[in-house]
Amino acid sequence: MSRFYDRIVSQVRTLTPYQPGKPIDELQRELGLARISKLASNENPLGCSPKVVAAIEQALPNLARYPDGNAYYFKQKLAAHLGVQPGQILPGNGSNEVLELVVRTFAGPGDEVIYDQYAFAVYPLSTRAAGATGVAVPAKDYAHDLSAMADAITARTKVIFLANPNNPTGTLFDTATFEQFMQRVPEQVIVVLDEAYYEYVQVADYPDGLDYLSRYPNLLVSRTFSKVYGLAGVRLGYLVGDAEIIDYLNRVREPFNVNTLAQVAGMAALDDKDFVAESVELNRDNMAWFTAALTTLKLAYIPSSGNFVTVHTGADTARINQSLLQQGVIVRPLTGYGMAEWLRISIGTRDELEHCVDALQEACRV
Ligand SMILES: Cc1ncc(COP(=O)(O)O)c(C=O)c1O
* Domain ranges for the chain: 7-38+274-363, 50-271
The pLDDT value recorded for residue 24 is: 81
Q: Cα torsion at 242, 243, 245, 251 (round to 10°)?
A: 160
**Considering only CA atoms, which of 122, 102, 109, 129 is closest in space to residue 249?**
102
CA–CA distance, 147 with 149 (Å, rounded to integer):
5
Q: Which atom of ligand 1 is nearest to the CA of 42?
A: 14
Strand ranges in the chain using DSSP code E only, listed in sequence order: 37-38, 89-92, 112-116, 133-137, 157-163, 190-194, 219-224, 237-240, 301-302, 308-312, 329-330, 332-334, 339-346
SS3 (DSSP) at 220:
strand
pLDDT the model gives residue 295 = 98
What's the pLDDT at 342? 98
Q: Maximum Cα–Cα distance for the chain, whole Å?
A: 59
Counting ligand 1 atoms within 8 A of each CB, the residue from 41, 226, 334 with the most, and so the one to mutate, is 226
Q: Which of 304, 331, 337 is nearest to 165 (CA)?
A: 304
3-state DSSP call for residue 178?
A: helix
* For the CA of 95, the nearest atom of ligand 1: 11
* CB of residue 194 inside a 6 A radius of ligand 1: yes
User: Cα(231) to centroid of ligand 1, in Å?
Assistant: 12
282 in Cβ contact with 307 (< 8 Å): no
Mean pLDDT of 49-62: 98
**Does the beta carbon of 270 sit less than 6 angstroms from any atom of ligand 1?**
no
Calculate mean pLDDT across residues 246-270.
97
- Output the CA 102–ligand 1 centroid distance in Å: 15
Q: Residue 120: CB within 6 Å of ligand 1?
A: yes
Q: Is the CB of 241 under 6 A from ligand 1?
A: no
Ligand 1 atom closest to the CA of 163, numbered from 1: 1
Atom of ligand 1 nearest to the CA of 227: 10
| Fold observed for domain 7-38+274-363 | Aspartate Aminotransferase, domain 1 (3.90.1150)
Q: Does the pLDDT value for residue 283 go beyond 70?
A: yes
Give, using CA atoms, the residue closest to atom 2 of ligand 1: 196
Average pLDDT over residues 306-310: 98
**pLDDT for residue 12:** 83
Q: What is the pLDDT of residue 214?
A: 97
Query: Tell me: the pLDDT tens digits for 2-47?
Result: 778 888 888 888 787 777 777 888 888 888 888 899 999 999 999 9
In this predicted structure, what is the pLDDT of residue 366?
63
Instruction: Specify whether the CB–CB gap between 144 and 171 falls below 8 A.
Output: yes
Q: Is 80 exceeded by the pLDDT of residue 123?
A: yes
Residue 229 is given by DSSP the state T
Compute CA 22 distance to the chain's CA centroid, rounded to the nearest angstrom: 17
Percentage of residues in the chain having pLDDT higher than 70? 99
Look over the chain and give the mean of its residue pLDDT values, rounded to a whole number.
95
Q: At 97, which helix (H) or strand (E)?
A: helix 95-106
pLDDT for residue 91 = 98
| Residue 349 Cα to chain centre, angstroms | 20
pLDDT value at 269 more than 90:
yes
Q: Is the model's pLDDT at 246 over the cut of 70? A: yes
Ligand 1 atom having least distance to the Cα of 97: 9
For ligand 1, the distance from its centroid to the CA atom of residue 300, given in whole angstroms, is 25
The third-level CATH classification (topology) of the domain covering 50-271 is Aspartate Aminotransferase; domain 2 (3.40.640)
Q: Average of pLDDT values for 70-77?
A: 98
d(CA 190, CA 195): 16
For the Cβ of 164 lying below 6 angstroms from any atom of ligand 1, the answer is no
- Ligand 1 atom closest to Cα of residue 235: 10
Confidence of residue 304 (pLDDT cuts 50, 70, 90): very high
* Tens-digit pLDDT profile for residues 131-145: 999 999 999 999 999
Q: What is the DSSP string of 290-359?
A: HHHHHHHTT--EE--SSSEEEEE-GGGHHHHHHHHHHTTEE-EEEGGGTEEEEEEEE---HHHHHHHHHH
Q: Among the atoms of ligand 1, which is closest to the Cα of residue 168? A: 16
Contact between 142 and 174 (Cβ < 8 Å) = no
Residue-level pLDDT at 201? 97
Predicted confidence at residue 192, as pLDDT, reads 98
* Identity of residue 348: G
CA of 46 to the centre of ligand 1 (A): 18
Q: Is any ligand 1 atom within 6 A of the Cβ of residue 167?
A: yes
Q: Do domains 7-38+274-363 and 50-271 have the same CATH topology?
A: no
